Amino acid sequence: MKIVSCVLMSGLGIEIHETAFVTSTFRSLNAELSRDVYARLWSNSRTDELVKKYLNNVCEEEVSAHCLRNRFFLEEIERLKPAVVINFGSGFSMYPFLLDKSIINIEIDKEEIISYKEERVNEFQKNGELPDRIIHFIGVDFSKDYVGVLLEKIKRIKKNKTSFVLIEGVLFFLSRKDTDKLFDFFSMLQRKGDYIGSASFQKDLKKSKGFKKLLDFCNKEMVKTEASYWQTIEDDFYRTNKNYELLNHQDYFSLSEKYNNEVKLEKDLILNENFYILKKIV
């Protein structure tokens, strides 16, 4: 996959897959906090340019926010010890290499991202830059018709094993209809006692200066044909799901306390993301 650096009529012309490079760069900028020692492998000059612009124009505390998110989900998965981790919209996150090697990993994202990730991971493993892991890469677009085929593929890998579904940094780009469809899908493939980890913004944040800056940036700099739902999700979405109970709810401020991260900016400027752990109850 080429990292497109085309100059559009206006703005940087950021494509959705590039947001995955940006997230990885954030994680690499404080590997001690994120515990992602491999994120640096995805570094490239185009992303460095985007990250600089994003930190200056939207919120400089996004580095800490993304590092804390990675740290939280990594440590939740370590604690809950699922046999299979299924990462929806996995981008360039590196959980398979940070987790125990016995875990089976299923990485799902748009075809162009997932095939690029698979190719590069193979190269990094050949060079000895990444350890061997059990990883299945699957290309899917969540706005298309995927249910039957994907369910079969995952069931063949997962069998009757325990699982942790992760969806982080993705729901902002999806419609509510596609989000409902995904959570119904998670329930179809998971068994009682399995977990979901999810990250999303709450509607209230829309009033903040930080979120307005984020939307300004996205509307100006992202390619218009890409998803632009900028979805927010209320706690009730997680609390009232009939198939799952909400076990744990954190946000940037609670994780900052947990991991000794100093909050520097005033609250109104921070993109406070919420993090949820759900357990399947039926």
Interacting residue ranges for ligand SAM, rule: CB under 6 A: 16-17, 19-20, 23, 89-91, 93, 109-110, 113, 140-143, 168-170, 173, 227
Least separation in angstroms between residue 273's CB and ligand SAM is: 11
223 vs 266, which CB is nearer to ligand SAM? 223
Between CA 271 and CA 254 the distance in angstroms is: 14
Task: Choose between 110 and 158: whose C-beta lies nearer to ligand SAM.
Answer: 110
- 136 phi, psi to nearest 5 deg: -110, 125
**Surface-to-core class of residue 31, CB atoms within 10 Å of its CB (0-12 exposed, 13-18 middle, 19+ buried):** middle
Least distance to ligand SAM from the beta carbon of 252, Å?
15
Non-local CB neighbours of 114 within 8 Å, separated by 6+ positions: 90, 107, 108, 137, 138, 139
Min separation Cβ 231 and ligand SAM, Å = 11
Output 57 or 245, the one with its CB closest to ligand SAM: 57
Among residues 169 and 210, whose Cβ is nearest to ligand SAM?
A: 169
173 or 244: CB nearest ligand SAM: 173
> Cβ 225 to ligand SAM, closest distance in Å?
12
Angle at 170 between CA 167 and CA 176, to 5 degrees: 100
User: Which residues are CB-neighbours of 185 under 8 A, at least 6 positions away?
Assistant: 147, 150, 151
Nearest Cα to Cα of residue 140 among 111, 161, 165 = 111
CB of 217 to ligand SAM, least distance (A): 13
Provide, rounded to whole angstroms, the least separation between the CB of residue 163 and ligand SAM.
17
CA angle 228, 233, 238 (to 5 degrees): 140
Backbone angles phi, psi at 103, to 5 degrees: -70, 140
Residue 65 identity (one-letter amino acid): A
Residue 34 or 190 having the CB closest to ligand SAM: 34
| Residue among 115 and 245 whose Cβ is closer to ligand SAM | 115
In the complex, least distance from residue 123 CB atom to ligand SAM, rounded to whole angstroms: 19
Q: Are 193 and 279 in contact (CB under 8 A)?
A: yes
Residue nearest to ligand SAM (CB): 91
Q: Closer CB to ligand SAM, residue 103 or residue 182?
A: 182
The nearest distance, CB 210 to ligand SAM, in angstroms, is 17
Q: Which amino acid is at 278?
A: L
DSSP state of 108: E
> Whole-angstrom Cα distance, residue 206 to residue 58?
14
DSSP letter assigned to residue 262: P
